[in-house]
């Protein structure tokens, strides 16, 4: 009887805590690293970003596309620990981004505002955060031209194209879909559907990989398909594939339109079956460049997206998505990618790549790799808390 009980307990835990990922330990480590980060960042106009080539910390101002990730990560640490000191830190670093709510010069408001204020609002229901988010959503919506049918990413690309749209832009839609629900403004919803449909039509290749940049003319005609951060116009930039996967997973969650689910599954299939995806499931910076530097951020974003997508999948696919996401998280939590305590300029993960062709942020920590890693760990824990959920 005792042996049977022991076996049952072991079986239960094998279903709830698998592999090498100890979420509790990971958050304890994150809290320790980010205590160091807070201590080394007294100036709240200097947002943690990465590491410079000389090894010192790289910071960025609030109008940089990554300014919301640090506050967002602090909210995730608060969500896990429930310790009020993390709430206080998250509140401070969230409010430090507030002025970007009026910024109409960037499409990145989803990252900049929804990661800190969206998580803050989800966890606290602070009405001030809601107001800031809704102002920001209006700013973002100014970048949508109905004649083109997409949210404009950059002002100009390669000095020729004045309506470039990047696959990363799919990451703004969660913010606008939230704003549609929170405000009752149906225009936000329509913008998202139109943007997602046109991206689906124009951004993908027959093998389900995506271009990085599609350049449009004034009536929505495609003028060119290019890359900025990938190895070549026709290559599959790794983080771009992860953004697309995440974006269409969210579109399905929020609309229940099966065409978005199908697209997310197709992107997952490209990533998971790619012959150049290494055994540890942390992509090289571009799927056409096996053997070169990795991009841990691409793995963290994909892991988080796959864990959500698994919940919309049948049992075989669900097992596969969870298994691959688990492998990604196991790799990221291993010594190969995980910083040692007090090192790595207080970031959690090493070995991400921001912009390889521009020789910028190559094989470094990146603030958004940490953010999606923490998000994925929270999702992983929720899935594993349901015994025998797969």
Interacting residue ranges for ligand GLY, rule: CB under 6 A: 65, 168, 229, 239, 354
Identity of the residue, 277 or 367, whose beta carbon is nearer to ligand GLY in the bound complex = 367
Which residues are CB-neighbours of 224 under 8 A, at least 6 positions away? 161, 214, 215
Q: How far is the CB of 316 from ligand GLY (least distance, A)?
A: 31
Which of 102, 108, 280, 295 does the annotation list as catalytic?
A: 108
Identity of the residue, 354 or 365, whose beta carbon is nearer to ligand GLY in the bound complex = 354
Which of 43, 54, 102, 168 does the annotation list as catalytic?
A: 168
**Other CB atoms within 10 A of residue 102 CB:** 11
In the chain, the largest separation of any two C-alpha atoms, in whole Å, equals 76
3-state secondary structure (DSSP) of residue 42: coil
Q: How far is the CB of 243 from ligand GLY (least distance, A)?
A: 7
Q: How far is the CB of 237 from ligand GLY (least distance, A)?
A: 9
Positive or negative, the Cα torsion across 270, 272, 278, 284? positive
Identity of the residue, 38 or 140, whose beta carbon is nearer to ligand GLY in the bound complex = 140
* Residue that the structure tokens 């929505």 belong to: 220
The encoded tokens of residue 267 equal 């992107």
Contact of 308 with 253, CB cutoff 8 Å: yes
The encoded tokens of residue 207 equal 């093998």
At what angle are helices 258-272 and 315-332 packed, to 10 degrees? 50
Distance (Å) of CA 358 to CA 126, 147, 221: 40, 32, 28
Does the annotation count 314 as an active-site position?
Answer: no
Identity of the residue, 87 or 143, whose beta carbon is nearer to ligand GLY in the bound complex = 143
Contact of 137 with 179, CB cutoff 8 Å: yes
Q: How far is the CB of 60 from ligand GLY (least distance, A)?
A: 12
Contact of 353 with 293, CB cutoff 8 Å: yes
Identity of the residue, 298 or 322, whose beta carbon is nearer to ligand GLY in the bound complex = 298
The encoded tokens of residue 312 equal 């919309």
| Count helices and strands in the chain by DSSP H and E runs | 14, 7
Calpha distance 57→37 (Å, rounded): 10
Contact of 206 with 267, CB cutoff 8 Å: no
Does the annotation count 168 as an active-site position?
Answer: yes
Identity of the residue, 64 or 390, whose beta carbon is nearer to ligand GLY in the bound complex = 64
Q: How far is the CB of 87 from ligand GLY (least distance, A)?
A: 28
DSSP secondary structure string, 183-203?
H--HHHHHHHHHHHHHHHHHS
Question: Which residue lies nearest ligand GLY, judged by its C-beta?
Answer: 168
Q: How far is the CB of 171 from ligand GLY (least distance, A)?
A: 8
Identity of the residue, 283 or 354, whose beta carbon is nearer to ligand GLY in the bound complex = 354
Q: How far is the CB of 153 from ligand GLY (least distance, A)?
A: 9
Residues tagged active-site: 108, 168
């Amino acid at each position: 009887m005792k042996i049977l009980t022991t076996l049952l307990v072991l079986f239960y835990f094998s279903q709830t805590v698998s592999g090498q990922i100890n979420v509790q330990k990971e958050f304890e480590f994150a809290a320790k690293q980010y205590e160091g980060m807070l201590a080394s960042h007294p100036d709240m106009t200097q947002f943690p970003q990465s590491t410079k080539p000389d090894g010192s910390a790289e910071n960025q101002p609030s109008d940089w596309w990554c300014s919301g990730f640090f506050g967002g990560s602090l909210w995730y640490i608060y969500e896990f620990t429930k310790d009020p000191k993390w709430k206080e830190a998250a509140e401070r670093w969230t409010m430090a981004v507030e002025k970007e709510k009026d910024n109409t010069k960037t499409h990145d408001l989803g990252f900049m505002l929804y990661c800190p204020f969206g998580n803050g609002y989800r966890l606290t229901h602070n009405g001030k955060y809601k107001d800031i988010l809704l102002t920001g959503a209006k700013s973002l919506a100014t970048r949508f031209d109905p004649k083109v049918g997409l949210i404009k990413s950059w002002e100009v690309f390669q000095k020729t194209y004045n309506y470039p749209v990047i696959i990363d832009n799919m990451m703004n839609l969660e913010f606008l879909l939230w704003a549609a629900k929170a405000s009752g403004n149906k225009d936000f919803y329509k913008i998202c559907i139109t943007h997602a449909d046109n991206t689906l039509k124009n951004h993908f290749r027959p093998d389900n990989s995506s271009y990085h940049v599609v350049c449009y003319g004034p009536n929505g005609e495609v003028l060119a398909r290019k890359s900025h951060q990938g190895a070549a116009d026709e290559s599959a930039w790794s983080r771009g594939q992860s953004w697309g996967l995440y974006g269409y997973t969210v579109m399905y969650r929020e609309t229940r339109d099966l065409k978005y689910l199908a697209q997310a599954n197709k992107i997952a299939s490209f990533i998971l079956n790619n012959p150049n995806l290494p055994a540890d499931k942390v992509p090289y910076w571009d799927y056409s460049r096996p053997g070169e530097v990795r991009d841990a951020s691409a793995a963290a974003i994909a892991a988080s997206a796959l864990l959500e997508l698994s919940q919309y999948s049948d049992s075989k696919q669900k097992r596969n998505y969870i298994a691959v996401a688990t492998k990604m998280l196991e790799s990221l939590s291993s010594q190969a990618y995980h910083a040692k305590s007090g090192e790595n300029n207080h970031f959690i993960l090493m070995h991400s790549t921001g912009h390889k062709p521009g020789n910028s942020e190559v094989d470094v920590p990146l603030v958004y790799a940490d953010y999606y890693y923490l998000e994925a760990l929270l999702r992983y824990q929720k899935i594993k808390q349901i015994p025998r959920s797969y």
